[in-house]
Structure 1
């Protein structure tokens, strides 16, 4: 049963890769196989386990999934509202000229994604940046190229703040790095991003027409946008100073948005209720997350991830951390990080900084390796596993450069 369960998990990831060949939606296949493998765990428990222990492991997994789901739902509701009202599109149109060279547009998008994900979480940054990309109506090949750049930029920016990436928060709360240490990841992340950008700027620099449909932005929409920004900032501050889980602050911000919207439109009964925007969320994305996290949770249940600390007995610490980053492109980075933190592996501050970068950015190498990639695959039509794979060598080069920069900065400081 152990190897049968492993086979199911491998099959699930194969079906994700082969979605365009088998014509089975990845959300449906991962949800089916993710729930199946847990059903089998109850029916035929592993040696030394019983239903109560499997239930305990499932509850831990469901808690992680629920936290991610609720956070994603709250962020997507904000973005769905702002997109429906055209506010994000209007901001883009006002910031960009009517015609813009593709290279300059890529530079602007990359820096914007890096900066935004440094201030917010990478899920929120991904949703907004991909919404901006969708509004530009680029050709399919250009959409894939921009998507690869955005995924890498979002993940690179997210490692520098505790609200940007869950693994960064885990390593910070374990006392391995300080806020000052994390800020030093920013120049290293920028280094890797600029190298990736340089490899993507080759070829045509054709001008892209930016359609402009300038219209006034309603005062109520400006208030909701301000609440969104305030929620992001408050999430960061509350997490830093009071250790409040980001999902709780974001859900509170969402509730404030609901009440504020109702008050602002109290005399407009015909206006769409803000709760309707929850129905506009793409549940394919949420179901895909659910299926993938159930599969990863089973890997943890089967103790597959417990073998990870052995890397540190075979390789130097710097090399092991680099490989962990590569593994995070295949396996969720949260259990990878948790396994290392719980293993008692001894590392200095510079090495923990390297691990923080590796687990946050290494997932960019494959489209299924990070939340940003999964969201991109759900929202950008031409993007799939195979089309993204074309850019993996360049992403690997950029990841390696960023990792080397973190190692150099970390050891220079210590």
Structure 2
């Protein structure tokens, strides 16, 4: 909620759009844009929610008026990059946060997933850019002046994310406390800086712009999972781990999360009390975070992209599933190997 409040403020002020507009060059090759979009979606989804990261990344691509086949490629990369960017930070993905709060992984261990996740995104960008040799002209809108207040809020946001990671690793400070402290600082500083301005909106109003439907969805899912545990249904999820080794079971669970939402799947396994090493839990974190990218309906980013890009249908996305499977496999293998250094 705290992260979404920060993003809601910066987005409503046009700060994020302004930054993107300043960074993008006037002319860029289609191949270079593919990698640039992948990097942007990966980084931005790490510090904000997947919904916002997907919408902003798609807005950049849609403004270029690309032909349908190329637009589908860019949208596919955004979905995979957004899901990959969130797995290494508790601010970026709900399943990562759930596994962390259950004590299965630590923040310092999660940082090991950044490398494999980023490599898999770059690999997908390379595969999807095959055959893209054209040049694109980026039409820039009139640059707006960035207010000092907005810059200050952005600095507080980034400082909060860095402090959350640092304090948790060094002093085991609960991330909840750090983020709520950062949110409090945002309210205090913004109210002070805007005290003399004639504004019709209080800072507290930005909390109302949060996608509460998304948060309530997660609450509902967790309640259902708790009910399933009480009637003994969750025990069946652990059967797969009795048939095969955890590293292979986790890989299949990631792919399964594309058909079954990753949040209830993660909650189910946590409730089932499956015994795994931290290396296996880290690879499971990657699998459930990125595995939903295998199908367009497997993640919130995919659903949003399908609603915004008319050309992106279930079958069109499925045609690129081989590329996605290759990159998911590379990322999962890398995450399992990196987790071995824990």
TM-score bracket, shorter-length normalisation: 0.7 to 0.9
- The answer to whether structure 1 residue 294 and structure 2 residue 223 are counterparts is no
Q: Cα distance 1:384–1:258, how it changes in 2: closer, same or farther (>3 A)?
A: farther
State which of 277, 290, 296 in structure 2 corresponds to 1:361: 290
User: In structure 2, what is the Cα distance between the partners aligned to 1:83 and 1:179?
Assistant: 27
**C-alpha deviations, 1:353-392, integer Å up to 9, x for none?**
3212112211222334334445545666665655544433
2:95 matched residue in structure 1: 167
**Secondary structure at the residue paired with 2:64?**
coil
1:55 matched residue in structure 2: none
2:110 matched residue in structure 1: 182
**C-alpha deviations, 1:16-68, integer Å up to 9, x for none?**
xxxxxxxxxxxxxxxxxxxxxxxxxxxxxxxxxxxxxxxxxxxxxxxxxxxxx
User: In structure 1, what is the Cα distance between the partners aligned to 2:270 and 2:221?
Assistant: 21
Q: What is the number of residues matched between the two proteins?
A: 334
1:324 matched residue in structure 2: 253
1:224 matched residue in structure 2: 153
Q: Cα distance 1:290–1:253, how it changes in 2: closer, same or farther (>3 A)?
A: same
**Secondary structure at the residue paired with 1:202?**
coil
User: In structure 2, what is the Cα distance between the partners aligned to 1:346 and 1:280?
Assistant: 40
2:9 matched residue in structure 1: 81
**Secondary structure at the residue paired with 2:136?**
strand
State which of 35, 55, 62 in structure 2 corresponds to 1:130: 55
Q: Cα distance 1:128–1:227, how it changes in 2: closer, same or farther (>3 A)?
A: farther
Contact 1:93 1:210 survives alignment (8 Å) = no
Moved more, 358-367 or 174-183: 174-183
Shift of 1:156: 1.9
Shift of 1:225: 1.9
What residue ranges of structure 1 are gaps of 5+ in the alignment? 1-70
Contact 2:64 2:138 survives alignment (8 Å) = no
Map residues 183-202 of structure 1 onto 2, 5 A cutoff.
Answer: 183-202=111-130
Contact 1:163 1:235 survives alignment (8 Å) = no
What residue ranges of structure 2 are gaps of 5+ in the alignment? none
**Structure 1 consecutive aligned stretches of length 4 or more whose deviation exceeds 6 Å:** none
2:321 matched residue in structure 1: 392
What is the TM-score of this pair, normalised by structure 1? Answer: 0.68
Q: Cα distance 1:253–1:374, how it changes in 2: closer, same or farther (>3 A)?
A: farther
Shift of 1:290: 3.8
What is the TM-score of this pair, normalised by structure 2? Answer: 0.81
State which of 308, 311, 320 in structure 1 corresponds to 2:240: 311
**C-alpha deviations, 1:319-368, integer Å up to 9, x for none?**
21111111222333344334334444343343233212112211222334
Map residues 12-411 of structure 1 onto 2, 5 A cutoff.
Answer: 71=1, 74-118=2-46, 120=47, 123=49, 126-128=51-53, 130-136=55-61, 137-139=63-65, 141=68, 142-172=70-100, 174=102, 176-212=104-140, 213-237=142-166, 239-240=168-169, 241-246=171-176, 249-270=178-199, 272-277=201-206, 286-287=212-213, 290-291=216-217, 294=220, 297-298=223-224, 301-302=227-228, 303-377=232-306, 385=314, 387-411=316-340
Name the larger-Rg structure.
1
